Structure 1
Amino acid sequence: MPRFNSITDIPDLTGRVAIVTGANSGLGYQTAQQLANHGAKVYLTTRSEAKALDTVRRLETENPVLKDSDRLQYLVIDFSLVTSAKAAGEEFLRRESRLDILVNNAGIAVGDFELTKEGLSTIFAVDHVSNFAFTTTVLPLLEATAKQLGTDVRIVTVSSGANTFAPKTTKFDSVDDFRDKCSTDDKVNSTSANFARYGQAKLANILMAQELQKLFDAAGLPILSISIHPGSVSTEGLESAARAYLGGIFWSIFNWFTVSPLQGAATQLFAATSPEVRKDAEKFKGQYLVPYGKLGSTSEVSDLARKPELQIQLWEMTEKVIAEILEKGSV
């Protein structure tokens, strides 16, 4: 497959509404930029209004056509809090009557273990649970849009090749699994434990995307749900993790082998917009894609991602956890 060009290969998106979470830098910024440049009305999500306004300003500076075009909107979400993600989804439903593209890009990289005030592992809350809460909140609008003639509705969830770092013993059948340390207390912040927790969160992204596709197929809805690995991209998150765990000298060397955020965004933009994906929907739906739009091989996807029972287990427990947080404030 020829390389997907994020600038020239995206079709006209005029009239379509998109959401890109975590859009103030890196992959999210480049994804939002290209969707807006090609005509979509794009909702950016950032952690604060100040960041949102700065992101809009930078996008408008790079493409003056966007200024005063109404194509750049924003939602403020703190993805460490399920309640924030839920509230932002409800706000979007009040503001819009359609949703064509949702890119679940928000996430944090490898880091030490901590709990959110809602009682979840921070990395699992940010990278999976809040994305799930936001997605399921706006799901009715995605479904309604898909029932209209001439629409092409897609959900793209950004995972990582690190999904293979999830321990083989990973399960999602209790609340404790959502704050799994992946180690003993004395080694909780070891490099192996930190990468294992990150791998679990990235595995959850793939499982969520798969289960969404099953639900859409069962309902007879032509919505495509795809998860992707963007590749080794020179983002702030990757640099921070590399410097913390491998040292600045290693990062200087490793950075030679990374691609820019615009190049890295190609796979999620391909999944979100390429006519080829819609034309060959049976090939792509529910799949995990790697650069640039290829199906992930068996070595690139954890064996755990091929267990249907784990998809269901994760979905049901995530629903229970979210419900308890919304009712009681924490788990």
Structure 2
Amino acid sequence: MFDFLRGSAWTPEQNIPSLSGKVVIVTGGNAGLGKETVLQLAKHDPKEIFLAARTPSKAEAAISEIKKAVPNGNVSFLQLDLSSFDSVKRAAEEFKGKSDRLDILVNNAGIMATPYSKTNEGYEIQFGTNHMGHALFTKLLLPTLLKTAETPGADVRVVNLSSEGHHMAPNGGILFDQAALENIGPWARYGQAKLANILHARALQKHHPSLTATALHPGVIVTDLYNPFSSTALGGAFKPIMGGMTKAGLLYDVPKGTRNQLWCAAADKDTVRRSHYWKPIGSKAAGTKYAQDEKLAERLWEWTEEELKKHGC
């Protein structure tokens, strides 16, 4: 009941323990919450952080900025386009060629409320990027995650960035028929993708209990995710309002918005395992009835596995 009181006192500077010897991957680490997550984790002496991102120039610029703040931080670029299974496979293979352990996987990258389109494999772009791409990436890294979990004193985490936007998912929670997604709006498609992030964490924890898998809502934050929305007339009108709300403390800035996923990645393991979904900061949340539906989580897990097999994954 009083989780939020404990979490509100948690800060990355004071409460992230030493990460010495640990290896971390953060997807979407070149901007926004992802870059701030890499920066904060780098301050606690991990063995290496892999900043996974699509565009090399943006990733290298982010790494340069992070290393100015943390000169001894060991941060490497891992090229990853979550909308392409081929790119996901290459990224996983590249990582496994460089590291024999993985302690923290932060599935942070995502897109929001984009116009209807499809990934290379034919999935609706938000569902394909936010869920399918991360599900495949996590699956390919599972042998390394599980091997690491067997080592003495291991504490292996998989953290999925979700959102209260999952409340906007369509009736039934998940529309498995990808063609049907063309007939619903961009926010409902976003809601489905974010719901899938919660359900994936729930099922991953069930199938692999040696891992700590959870999902979270970071708070309402103005990040690059709003770029497609801000280009619309409504988004342009709303932008100064959001700026005022941020100054008033009603919206989070990026450093504060990162705290909940840092909490999920580094707070006490037994506490984090108490829920499949967390609100800021470290406040246990239930989510919608679909987010709590274990049968739906298992159905999505099995459906995703079958879809990945169709693509030789």
Q: Same fold (TM over 0.5)?
A: yes
2:90 to 69, 87, 92: 87
The Cα of 1:240 is off from its aligned counterpart by 4.0
Given candidates 206, 209, 213, the residue that maps to 1:214 is 206
Q: Which amino acid aligns with 2:284?
A: L
Q: Which amino acid aligns with 2:271?
A: D
Deviation at 1:232, TM superposition (A): 0.6
CA separation of 1:214 and 1:245: change in aligned 2, threshold 3 A? farther
Corresponding residue of 2:310:
324
Matches within 5 A, 1:136-175: 136-171=139-174, 174=176
Deviation at 1:295, TM superposition (A): 0.7
SS of 2:17 mapped into structure 1:
coil
TM-score, with length taken from structure 2:
0.91
Matched residue, 2:71: 64
Q: Which runs of 5+ in 1 are unaligned?
A: none
- The letter of the residue matching 1:288 is Y
| 1:300-315 correspondence to structure 2 within 5 Å | 301-315=287-301
- Counterpart in 1 of 2:261? 268
SS, match of residue 238 in structure 2: helix
Cα offsets for 1:31-68 (capped at 9, x unmatched): 011111111111000102222221211111222233xx
SS at structure 2 position matched to 1:126: helix
Identify if the C-alpha distance between structure 1 residues 140 and 245 changes in structure 2 by more than 3 Å, giving closer, same or farther.
farther
Counterpart AA for 2:49: V
Q: Which of the residues 18, 26, 41 maps onto 1:12?
A: 18
Q: Aligned partners of 1:138 and 1:313: how far apart in 2?
A: 22
Give the root-mean-square deviation of aligned CA atoms: 1.8
Displacement, 1:90? 1.9
Give the corresponding residue for 2:138. Answer: 135
Q: In 1, are the aligned partners of 2:42 and 2:70 still within 8 Å (CA)?
A: no
Corresponding residue for residue 213 of structure 2: 225
Aligned to 2:181: 181
Tell me how far 1:281 sits from its aligned partner.
Answer: 5.2
**Number of the residue aligned with 1:51:** 58
Structure 1 residue 14: Cα displacement: 1.1
Report the CA distance shift for 1:317/1:54 in structure 2 as closer, same or farther (over 3 A).
same
* One of 41, 45, 50 as aligned partner of 1:39: 45
Q: CA deviation at 1:179?
A: 4.6
Q: Identify if the C-alpha distance between structure 1 residues 179 and 50 changes in structure 2 by more than 3 Å, giving closer, same or farther.
A: farther
Q: In structure 2, the residue corresponding to 1:270 is in which secondary structure?
A: helix
Deviations 1:155-213 (A, max 9, x none): 100000000100123445x5xx2454262xxxx5xxxx110000000000000000001
SS in 1 for 2:66: helix
Match of 1:248 among 232, 236, 239: 236
Q: How many residues align?
A: 301
> Partner residue of 2:34?
28
Gaps of at least 5 residues in structure 2 are none
| Deviation at residue 117 of structure 1 after TM alignment | 2.7
Contact kept in structure 2, 1:168 and 1:304, CA below 8 Å: no
Amino acid aligned to 2:274: K
> Which deviates more, 204-213 or 237-246?
237-246
Counterpart secondary structure, 2:16: coil
Between the aligned partners of 1:168 and 1:92, the Cα distance in structure 2 is 38
Identical pairs, percent? 35
Cα distance in 1, alignment partners of residues 310 and 31 from structure 2: 32
Q: Secondary structure at the match of 1:322?
A: helix
Q: CA deviation at 1:274?
A: 1.1
For 1:252, give the aligned amino acid.
P
Cα offset for 1:243? Answer: 5.0
For 2:145 and 2:113, how far apart are their aligned partners in 1?
31
| Superposition TM-score, scaled by structure 1 size | 0.86
